[in-house]
């Protein structure tokens, strides 16, 4: 089975214009094949090991061709590492961290901040610096998911990219003044990460996001996972040299000078997004305020192939129970093979791990009761996911899973305010780390799409040993609402997460 996911996060700032000298926009789009080629029948040369029909079947704009994409837009991290300009080994170190007081009951009510911190520090033990940062990222992602869940209907599907949002907010914090930066660190969990060790400071966060880019977004891991950051700056705004240097050093994002009032900017920016996400994200930028000072964009694109194919001839329409009263007929894929799974009796759900090539997998959490989604959403945490992964057993199972395709678009400002991130969005916001001009963040968009179908290729298996078997269960039938995570195992990174309530709805 093959999966395509693409997400774009956009953060925008408004300002009273001044003067700047920033890299001109034209060079940003001037590399070879700067725009999609249009409507052609021949195949692109950048997907030579993927079946030709794959993009035709699974992309929204399946008639677009992206010749030269890899060479033009892929950051050559191997070249960066060979040049010796990276702290690559540092993030893999396991150093001492603060330990919780011995009298704290980490299993008590988690509303106590001391207990929450003790639980987090317990998760940190035995983990590398990069894994620890991703635990904090996941905790933020789950909290953001819960906030968003409360704003949508119970029948709505959800798709988020916690890793992409954290990367974008980490980049945003570089431009914040002391108070604003402190609030970002608190809400995103970076503060708890920094305070966990005397060896850490604020720069450690940015160094590790740089390292996360190296770890995840490489060509040779058997899957395609790419993160691209773009920074567009109003041509009349003065941006500080330190901000330009740090965004480039840590996030590979060099500010580009643009005229936000020029329709050509929207056209070029949207074509770049279309190209980088292989046609999955179409025109996320509908309009832009000409007074905007800064636009930060984070694109996250994932293409993975299941380790074990779901034979197309085994796919049949079956009932999927949306709720107690509603069924929908959807294509349900079927396969038999050795799969890791676990049972969480406390949360009354079963968990299945469907591996992709390259140490990345989809974790499916299926409530045993059709009404159990709310409790599962409320309780999911890095601790819970860690327990699932440690307690999985491997056995032959029949797996039945719906094909599904989700497209979601959110404005996250309300949700981030609910979580305590308020300074960014007020008239007195402090972005003195970025510019001396008065600016305010008024737009923070997050758009994503995910496509799941039967295609797949063979790859090495990830083997783990656990102690929580599914008793006599030999079938895993996903025929009612479920949660899913796209999880990278070497870094403990929750790349994507979401829920499928109705697979018949896009």
Residue 477 lies in a domain: yes
Q: Residue 364 belongs to what domain range?
A: 312-405+456-500
Task: Specify the pLDDT at position 170.
Answer: 94
Task: Specify the pLDDT at position 88.
Answer: 53
Task: Specify the pLDDT at position 218.
Answer: 63
Strand 327-344 versus strand 393-402 pairing type:
antiparallel
Q: What phi and psi, each to the nearest 5 degrees, are found at residue 14? A: -105, 155
- Residues in contact with 447: Cβ distance below 8 Å, sequence separation at least 6, in sequence order: 7, 8, 9, 10, 281, 284, 408, 409, 410
Query: Residue 419 has which token pair?
Result: 């979580």
The percent of residues above 70 in pLDDT, for the chain, comes to 78
- For 162-203, the pLDDT digits (tens) are 998 999 999 999 999 999 999 999 999 999 999 999 999 999
Task: Specify the pLDDT at position 76.
Answer: 57
- Residues in contact with 122: Cβ distance below 8 Å, sequence separation at least 6, in sequence order: 100, 106
pLDDT along the chain (506 residues), means of 10: 79 59 43 30 33 37 35 52 55 84 72 81 91 96 96 92 91 92 94 92 94 76 78 87 92 88 88 82 79 84 83 91 94 90 94 89 95 95 94 87 88 92 86 87 83 47 25 76 94 93 88
Angle between helices 382-390 and 113-124 (to 10 degrees): 40
Residue 271 lies in a domain: no
- For 401-429, the pLDDT digits (tens) are 998 888 888 889 899 999 999 988 888 88
Residue 186 lies in a domain: no
Q: What phi and psi, each to the nearest 5 degrees, are found at residue 184? A: -60, -45
Q: How many domains does the chain divide into?
A: 1
C-alpha–C-alpha distance, residues 299 and 34, integer Å? 17
Residue 437 lies in a domain: no
Please list the alpha-helical segments (H only) found in 64-112.
69-73, 77-82
Name the pTM for this structure: 0.83
Residue 464 lies in a domain: yes
Task: Specify the pLDDT at position 70.
Answer: 43
- Residue 491 sits in a domain whose CATH number is 2.30.39.10
Task: Specify the pLDDT at position 336.
Answer: 87
Residue 360 lies in a domain: yes
Task: Specify the pLDDT at position 79.
Answer: 59
Q: What is the mean pLDDT of the chain?
A: 79
Residue 346 lies in a domain: yes
- For 72-106, the pLDDT digits (tens) are 444 555 555 555 544 556 788 888 888 877 777 76
C-beta separation of 365 from 484 below 8 A: yes
Residue 264 lies in a domain: no
């Amino acid at each position: 089975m093959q999966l395509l996911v693409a997400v774009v996060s956009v953060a925008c700032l408004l300002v009273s214009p001044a003067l700047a000298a920033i890299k001109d926009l034209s060079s940003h789009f001037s590399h070879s094949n700067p725009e999609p080629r249009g409507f052609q029948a021949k195949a692109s040369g950048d997907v030579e090991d993927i079946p030709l029909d794959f993009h035709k079947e699974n992309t929204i704009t399946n008639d677009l061709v992206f010749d030269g994409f890899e060479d033009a837009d892929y950051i050559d991290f191997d070249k960066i590492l060979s040049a010796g300009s990276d702290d690559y080994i540092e993030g893999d170190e396991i150093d001492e961290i603060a330990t919780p007081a011995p009298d704290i009951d980490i299993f008590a009510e988690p509303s106590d901040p001391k207990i929450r911190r003790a639980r987090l520090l317990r998760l940190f033990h035995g983990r590398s610096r990069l894994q620890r940062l991703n635990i904090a990222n996941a905790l933020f992602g789950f909290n953001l998911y819960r906030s968003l869940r409360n704003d949508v209907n119970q029948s709505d599907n959800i798709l988020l990219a916690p890793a992409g949002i954290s990367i974008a907010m980490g980049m945003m914090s570089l431009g914040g003044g002391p108070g604003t930066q402190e609030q970002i660190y608190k809400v995103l969990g970076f503060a708890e990460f920094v305070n966990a060790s005397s060896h850490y400071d604020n720069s450690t966060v940015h160094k590790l996001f740089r390292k996360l880019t190296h770890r995840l977004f490489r060509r040779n891991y058997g899957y395609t996972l790419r993160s691209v950051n773009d920074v567009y700056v109003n041509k009349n705004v003065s941006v500080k040299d330190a901000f330009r240097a740090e965004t480039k050093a840590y996030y590979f994002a060099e500010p580009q000078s643009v005229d936000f009032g020029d329709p050509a900017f929207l056209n070029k920016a949207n074509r770049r997004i279309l190209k980088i996400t292989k046609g999955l994200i179409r025109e996320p930028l509908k309009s832009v305020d000409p007074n905007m000072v800064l636009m930060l964009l984070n694109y996250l694109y994932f293409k993975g192939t299941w380790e074990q194919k779901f034979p197309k001839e085994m796919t049949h329409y079956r009932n999927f129970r949306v709720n107690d009263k509603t069924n929908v007929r959807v294509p349900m894929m079927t396969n038999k093979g050795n799969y890791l799974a676990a049972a969480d009796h406390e949360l009354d759900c079963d968990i299945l791990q469907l591996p992709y090539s390259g140490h990345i997998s989809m974790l499916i959490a299926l409530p045993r009761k059709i009404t159990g989604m709310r409790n599962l959403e409320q309780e999911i945490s890095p601790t819970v996911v860690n327990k699932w992964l440690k307690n999985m057993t491997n056995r032959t199972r029949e797996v039945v899973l719906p094909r599904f395709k989700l497209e979601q678009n959110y404005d996250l400002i309300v949700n981030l305010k609910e979580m305590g991130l308020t300074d960014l969005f007020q008239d007195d916001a402090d972005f003195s780390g970025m510019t001396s001009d008065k600016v305010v963040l008024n737009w923070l968009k997050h758009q994503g799409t995910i496509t799941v179908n039967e295609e797949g290729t063979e790859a090495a298996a990830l083997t783990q040993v656990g102690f929580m078997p599914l008793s006599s269960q030999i079938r895993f039938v996903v025929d009612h609402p479920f949660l899913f995570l796209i999880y990278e195992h070497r870094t403990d990174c929750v790349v994507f997460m979401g829920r499928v309530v109705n697979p018949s709805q896009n």
